[in-house]
Amino acid sequence: MTTTQIVTIAIAILIIAGVGVVLTSSRRESVRGVGTLARETRKKDRGAVDPEQLTGRQFEAVAKARSAAIVAAPKAEVEPWSPPDAEAIGVSRRQFFNRATVTLMSASLGGFGAAVIGFLWTSSSGGFGSKINVGNVDDVIGQIRANKGFLYFPEARSWITEYPKESLSKGKDAYGHQGPVYSGLESGLIALYQKCPHLGCRVPECKSSQWFECPCHGSQFNRVGEKKGGPAARGMDRFGVSVTNGNVVIDTGTVFGGPPIGTNTTGQEAEGPHCVGGGSH
Ligand code: FES
């Protein structure tokens, strides 16, 4: 910064300061009358009594007359004080957030609880998870045969197939420990859970091979759900079956694990081309 610029800035500051001083002085001039009586006031006071001229008695008489002229204000009725209701006078922000949090938490927990109860109480609704009546035993067997060996019940998420009577002795060894499953075999029926024991895909029937063949990774099971090939670690899971008053009832409330690899109670081999895994016999 050059000397000329510094001098110019200094002069500008001095001019501004000078203008400020002049304005402040003029303001003082305009307020100089503060504390002195205005002309109207002095005019009003002109006829008034000069207290300096009065004697003591006269001064008292004037004061008395002035007091008498003052009208006393009527006495107001005073309501007795009672403390305000904290609930009625409003809710603080902290209270609002606390209550909102508690309400939302309660609603969420209530909804979750209701959903859990609804899920666990499926048996009362008659859906999957309960005992499902799938119809007259003769009709069921007739439908299985009409459908080339397989019958699907979506409500029970199950396939029903026939269990050969001649395999019962082997079946007792393999399934005797699963009482409800074995009693179904004695009635000539087996109910297989549709879910693949490998990774849970729905396993369809293959009418040509007369097996169940999983399209996901190629697991294969014979018509009574015993493992024949693919990556599944066991046979198809199954449900208990009972015949009550001539009606077939599948108890989907309990899932019995499928038989271990190597179980082959019926000796059924593929009866035609496979649906999965090349389609060869
Ligand atoms: S899910 Fe069926 S074979 Fe993998």
Pairing state of beta strands 211-213 and 205-206? antiparallel
Residues 110, 69: Cα–Cα separation, whole Å: 75
Residues 135, 144: Cα–Cα separation, whole Å: 12
- pLDDT value of position 43: 67
- pLDDT value of position 82: 82
Residues 137, 244: Cα–Cα separation, whole Å: 9
pLDDT band at 75 (very low <50, low <70, confident <90, very high): confident
Residue owning the nearest CA to atom 1 of ligand 1: 199
- pLDDT value of position 266: 95
Measured in angstroms, how far is the CA atom of residue 246 from the centroid of ligand 1? 35
Residues 144, 133: Cα–Cα separation, whole Å: 16
Averaged pLDDT for residues 174-200:
96
Q: What is the pLDDT of residues 18-46, one digit of tens each?
A: 777 777 655 555 555 556 667 777 666 66
Domain boundaries, the chain: 93-122, 131-256
Measured in angstroms, how far is the CA atom of residue 243 from the centroid of ligand 1? 31
The residue with greater pLDDT, 83 or 241, is 241
Measured in angstroms, how far is the CA atom of residue 205 from the centroid of ligand 1? 14
- pLDDT value of position 8: 80
pLDDT band at 277 (very low <50, low <70, confident <90, very high): confident
Virtual torsion, Cα 132, 138, 141, 143, nearest 10 deg:
-90
The residue with greater pLDDT, 258 or 61, is 258
pLDDT band at 279 (very low <50, low <70, confident <90, very high): very low
Measured in angstroms, how far is the CA atom of residue 65 from the centroid of ligand 1? 114
Averaged pLDDT for residues 110-116:
85
- Nearest-CA neighbor of 230 among 242, 222, 241, 240? 222
Residues with CB under 6 A from ligand 1: 196, 198-199, 201, 214, 216-219, 230-232
Question: What is the position in ligand 1's atom list of the atom closest to the CA of 230?
Answer: 3
Q: What is the pLDDT of residues 126-173, one digit of tens each?
A: 789 999 999 999 999 999 999 999 999 999 999 999 999 999 999 999
- pLDDT value of position 162: 97
pLDDT band at 48 (very low <50, low <70, confident <90, very high): low
- pLDDT value of position 46: 64
Question: What is the position in ligand 1's atom list of the atom closest to the CA of 201?
Answer: 1
Assigned CATH class of 131-256: mainly beta
- pLDDT value of position 20: 75
Question: What is the position in ligand 1's atom list of the atom closest to the CA of 219?
Answer: 3
The predicted model scores a pTM of: 0.59
Residues 9, 87: Cα–Cα separation, whole Å: 65
- pLDDT value of position 83: 78
- pLDDT value of position 30: 53
